[in-house]
Chain A
Amino acid sequence: MPSGPWFILFLPLVSAALIACGLHRNWKLSAAVSIAAVWAGFFITVMYVPDALSAGEGVLFHESFRWAGAGDIEFRYGALIDGLSLMMLLVVTGVGGLIHIYALGYMKGDPGISRFFAFLSLFIFSMLGIVFADNLFQIFIHWELVGVSSFLLIGYYYRKPSANDAANKAFLTNRVGDFGFMIGILMAFYALGTADFAGMAAAMTPEFLAQDIFQVGGANGWAMSGETFLWVTGGLLLMGVMGKSAQFPLHVWLPDAMEGPTPVSALIHAATMVAAGVFLLCRLFFLYMPSETAMSIIAHMGAFTAFFAATIATTQFDIKRILAFSTLSQLGYMVMAVGLGGTDAAMFHLTTHAFFKACLFLGAGAVIHAVHTNDIREMGGLRKVMPITFWTFFISTLALCGFPGLSGFWSKDGILHLTAHPPAYADTFLITVLPTVTAVLTSYYMFRLIFMTWFGEARYHGKPHEAPPSMWSPLVVLTGLATLTGWSFFFNAETMEAFRSITRPAGAPEPHYVHFDMPTILHALEIFTLGAGAAWVAFHKKWIDPEKIKTALGPIHRLFDNRWYVDDVYTWIVDNIQQNFARLCNLFDQLVIIKTLVNGSAWTTRASGALAARYQSGSVRAYVLLFLAGVAAMLALNL
């Protein structure tokens, strides 16, 4: 009898298989099975929560079985639940469950709805595999599986060329990251002798790190010191994180991924899959912590991504793209927090972000559903038409902007607090100043979105209506979560203590506590007012014409509007360097492989055949003579 956690993991897979094998004829049954699978997982997960709060950092459940092996190498497939994975499980199954219900309303009437739910179930299974994994190989397998699910879901509207392109872009960009990720896994496996997290942590003794790890060419040859090994391996593993969590410079796929259905954007590209990178960083924290170089890389990459994405978000007009860039920015915050040693802060922000960002995406989905456009210039004044959606959207925005009292305030200020007192390796402008600027920008672009979508005169076409209950009820639940998460910490210090301890890997530095005191609140309010006020002045009161700001900023605005030209640089690289390289390869293929090797061997065969055919004279006598010559030759050779 397999125990509970295995059910969490495999029920969605069973659901996907069932839908694929025949349930898809009946879309209601398909949806019901899919929703039931994820909610069953959620309830089993909840049963572990009391244990987690009392057990603290310990492992709550760990089983694994031999999956494959060769010689001494063994690949295991495991289910590991500790505080970190439990937190992630709650987010994946909880938010996932709500989004499943929302999807029921959003996708209703779509001809491929059964397929959609099958893909969602497959995604949930893949994602849970990452969360449960107790070794790097399992993580890698599921890493690729979520990549596939993401590909399938982004390209869900497969008749739309842009959706197919976006799916390919996401997949290919992730391949780049996964390439480094795989090399990193192999390096770690080679050096540490195991891919098991506990085993890896145990193998990383100070003596191990003091010696040379990769020795090539004897005593005078090239060798890699323990310190170098750590940050090189960590950096390669970080490439996987960059791809999956869309960190600069591999972020380009995420905004395009918004071509998928909105529930997918909410579930995969805001709440769960993109957070897998942050989760992995926390899992591998023991690997990064001893290396200041690695930690510094992570922190700076995150800080830059946060700022970079926020600047782009200020210029976009597609509602889902704004949210996508906002997601990039918030992921940057989380990655930066890990780099600064605050895994608990990162996980906390991951959780709250999952709530309010999922709510924002779902709200955006409701709006899109109502007005049939993504462009915020064709919205406006929707506040009166869709009140429930508006209020949930508004509160979630406040939470995202870190308005005091809402969940984003607790989590974001936890991170900003880290940046205010950075470790020595991260004491740079990028860490100390930019995150605060980013927070201001966050308020600005979010309220720009709010004012353009919900306030002002109506610019929409048709007759929009409030979303159906199946769509707004998850919004309400998520808004509730976005509001209340954090307050429990305020009122109950023990809960906060427990949360912080269970999401902190062994050996991580002591967390910085956020105190709900006046300076913190004032600081948060300053940030909020600055950003929201600017948006209010420009987009609500229209005292300043946004066009004038554009012209005044000139090149800076163009830089932001063109997404810092990253996509253009990639296009240029592909067009000029990669294409030419491909032509070179093609030339080599044509000349050397095809002309010389393939055709050449065919020609050689034919020519030697023609030569040998001359001896096939048809004269039996000649054959006898040749036969005799052969026998004589054999006899002579053996003498």
Chain B
Amino acid sequence: MKLSFIPEDMDWVCEPCGLALQPGMAELFYLGNVFRVELPMCPGCGAVLIGEELATGKMLQVEQLLEDK
């Protein structure tokens, strides 16, 4: 199953590169675990945007779950 967290509003530009963000596959690491996730990403430098909802929602949940494993 492909994990995707692409926000409705993708009108974001990478500041250093000046390029519009596009969906891209990023790897998230925590405590020796890795998740391949689709996130808004700069096609130039690969910088990834993590929004508030994701950080304080799903991501926090997974972090806590892994911490208790």
A binds B: no
B interface with A by C-beta (< 8 Å): none
A interface with B by C-beta (< 8 Å): none
